[in-house]
Every structure is written in structure tokens, then in C-alpha cells.
Structure 1
Amino acid sequence: MNARPVLVFDGDCGFCTTSVNFAERRIRPDCTVVAWQFADLAALGVTEERARHEVLWVTPTGRVHGGAAAVARLLMRAGGVWAPLGASLTLPPVSWLARLGYRLVAANRHRLPGGTPACALPPGGRPGAR
């Protein structure tokens, strides 16, 4: 297993790629960042279905956090002013709002700045569709 956490994102999605580039440039979390299309998902303990569905944070021990929880872990790992924001995203009722916000963004990422038609998830793959 990797000694650092791994952030897994959708490399085919322009919005996701733009968001990850921003995080790497401005937030600077101490993690390995990889598009799921180039990741060894089996070694990370992640299915392709889940990787297509949401951003993932995989800890060095193999625990997987998805969606808003992954964003929270990224912010906490960055430290500094980002850590309290990330920690707040793990506490109810903020965590409930964060999950809802994440679902809305994920379902509409093709409509957001940087988004392309490739960003659109098929109806069955949209968060909350299960």
C-alpha cells in the first residue's frame, strides 16, 4: 500500500481535472493524485464503478472515503487554514449539507465551468441514483 493517501478522480472530466489542478496548486494536500483511468484500482481496493461515481480518498491503510468525505480528508491533509474547514465537513449538520452539495455538483459537473459533455455521468451513475 502507498505510504501517502491517494486522491482518485475522473481524468476524462474537465471540471474534475480543473478542480484537482486547483487543489494541487492552491491547497497542496500531501497525497498522490491519480486519474482513475491510470490508477491500479484493484491495488487501491476500489472498483471502477465507484471511481466513475465519485472522487475517492484512499488512506495508506486502505480505507476509502468518497465524495464530500474525500474532499474533507483532502482539506484536512493539507493542514493550515484548510484543516478546520475539512474537519467541519465531517460533522453533522455540515456533513449532510456537504454530501448534498457534492451530489448536486457531481450530477451537474458537465454544466459547470471547465465541464464538457464527457463530464456527464450516465443516469444510473449519478450520485443518489442508486
Structure 2
Amino acid sequence: MDGRFIIVEELGKVNLLTPDGKLLKKLPIPGQAFSVTQINQNTIAVTYPYEKAIKIFNMENETVTKVITLDKHCWGLSSSDDSLVVVYCVDQSGKQIWQYKQDLSGPEGLCTDTYGNIIVADRDLIE
């Protein structure tokens, strides 16, 4: 929102970069992070597929404020209107709003477009 970038090294560290791409700091979030989305100016959500969890992280005070546990691996997520989208959508309290009803063999990435459509990338995943 302010031009900074948040980059996740695959199954690794979460890095905060300046608008021109220089490392500002490594965010102290433990675990094997995979993907990230920004919820608001100071809050991000990070997926941890092998923990089957999403961690909500406050960048201002550098703490994990909430852990959402899942029953499946979560590889990708997006945020829209104070809600997280992870093949199913939950609000900030964790209450499920809707769920994708089609069969997916390996949903791994998703995003929203400017019209509010949700695009899900699927791939064959062996568990």
C-alpha cells in the first residue's frame, strides 16, 4: 500500500523490501513460509502449507497476532475487503463466508482482479 514489497523465499524467510527493491528487514516469522498477502497497512497473512496454517503478522510490533489452522495444505492466498481467500473465504474473525465447491487436485495460487473475481490456479499435487 505504501510501495514496499513483501517477498517470501520459497519455504523460507519473509523479507520486507523498500519501493526500489532493497532489503529493509527480514520479518521474524518462524516456520516454512510459502506465500503472503497484505491485509492492511501493517498486517500481512502468510501461508505455511506443511503446518496447514495461515499466520497473521503485525509488521509494526513484529508479532504473530493469530494463527488460522486448516485441514489441508494452503499454498496460496489473497486478501480482499478485510477477508482472506484460500479456496474458501473467511473474515477477520475466522468465520467462513463461502467455499469453492469444484474439485481441485492441487489449488496452489490465487488472486483477485479489479472486478472482484477470484482466479484459482490448480495443479496436480501428490500428498
Greater RCO structure (CA 8 Å; 6+ sep): 1
What is the TM-score normalised by the length of structure 1?
Answer: 0.32
Structure 1 or 2: larger strand share?
2
Q: Which has a greater percent of helix? A: 1
